[in-house]
Amino acid sequence: MSHYKSKVCHSIVTMVELGGVPRPNSGVGRRVGGPKRAQNFYCTYLKMLRVNAEPKGLDVDSLVIEHIQVNKAPKMRHRMYRAHGWINPYMSSPCHIEMILTEKEQIVLKLEEEVAQKEKISQKTLKKQKVMAREKIQHQINANKSKIIIIIIIIINK
């Protein structure tokens, strides 16, 4: 994670700027609202990934998020003790975060010769080429069979 990305994470956590989060229609005035807790987990997770990438020899500044997936985890059950002996469920909703980072590939331009060599072939001509190749293989197999038969006949006659 570059210095800029870590600054953005920190600014969202400290509510300096809003990171692309829809704001409620009423009741918030000029205050910034954002996913502070979720962003905090996200920042710590990215820092852990950065620390894990360094010993593997990856260039940390060129890492790109290739895959990210969040799945529901089983709810954790607790009790909330209320007045008059009542007990309410107090359930937390954890999640499993799966994130894969890879190094950004450098763009390599193709040579014009390679692009020019590649021509589009219609389906009809592809079918014809396949049939011709099959017939050629069948012809070679039949020729080999006849050679084997001739050799066997010669051996038997001797």
- Per-residue confidence (pLDDT) for residue 141, from 0 to 100: 76
Q: Which amino acid is at 115?
A: V
Tell me how far apart the alpha carbons of residues 80 and 60 are, in angstroms, rounded to a whole number: 44
Could you count the other beta carbons within 10 Å of the beta carbon of residue 101? 19
Q: Cite the residue boundaries of each domain of the chain with CATH code 3.90.470.10.
A: 3-103
Q: What is the pLDDT of residue 115?
A: 60
Percentage of the chain beyond pLDDT 90 is: 10
Structure tokens at 84: 């008059």
Q: CA-to-CA distance for 91 and 85, rounded, in angstroms?
A: 19
Of residues 100 and 9, more confidently modeled: 100
pLDDT classification of 81: cutoffs 50, 70, 90: very high
- Report yes or no on whether pTM surpasses 0.75: no
Torsion of CA 74, 76, 77, 82, to 10 degrees: -130
Of the candidates 68, 89, 69, 71, the one whose C-alpha atom is nearest the C-alpha of residue 79 is: 89
Whether the per-residue pLDDT at 72 is higher than 80: the answer is: yes
Q: Is the pLDDT of residue 122 over 80?
A: yes
pLDDT above 60: residue 131: yes
135: pLDDT strictly greater than 60: yes
> Is the predicted pLDDT of residue 112 greater than 80, yes or no?
no
pLDDT, residue 22, reads 55
The structural architecture, per CATH, of the domain 3-103 is: Alpha-Beta Complex (3.90)
Average pLDDT, the chain: 75
Closest CA to 73 of 91, 92, 94, 89: 94
H-helix or E-strand containing 18? none
Q: Where are the beta strands (DSSP E) in the chain?
A: 63-72, 76-81, 87-92, 95-103
Residue 78 one-letter amino acid: H
Q: CA torsion angle for 75, 78, 84, 85 (degrees, to 10)?
A: 110
